[in-house]
Structure 1
Amino acid sequence: MSIDVLNETDVEVDELELVDCARYVLERMHVHPQADLAITLVDEPAMETLHVRWMDLPGPTDVMSFPMDELRPGTETTPSDPGMLGDVVLCPTVAARQAAEAGHATEEELLLLTTHGILHLLGFDHAEKEEEKEMFELQRQLLLTFLAGRGRGA
Structure 2
Amino acid sequence: MSIEVSNETTYEVDESEFADLARYVLDAMHVHPQAELAILFIDPEAMTELHVRWMDLPGPTDVMSFPMDELRPGTPTQSSEEGILGDIVVCPEVATAQAREAGHSATEEMLLLVTHGILHLLGFDHAEEEEREEMFALQRTLLLTFLANR
TM-score relative to the length of structure 2: 0.99
What is the identity, as a one-letter code, of the residue corresponding to 2:47?
Answer: M
Q: Distance in 2 between matches of 1:45 and 1:130?
A: 34
| Number of equivalent positions | 150
Q: Distance in 1 between matches of 2:46 and 2:141?
A: 31
1:1-150 aligned at under 5 Å gives the runs: 1-150=1-150
* Identity %, equivalent residues: 73
Q: CA-to-partner distance for each residue in 1:89-144, whole Å, 9 max, x for gaps?
A: 00000000001110101110110000000000000000111110000000000000
Q: Distance in 2 between matches of 1:72 and 1:32?
A: 10
CA shift at 1:6, angstroms?
A: 1.0
Q: Displaced runs of 4+ in structure 1, greater than 4 A?
A: none
Q: Which runs of 5+ in 1 are unaligned?
A: none
TM-score relative to the length of structure 1: 0.97
User: Alignment RMSD, CA only?
Assistant: 0.4
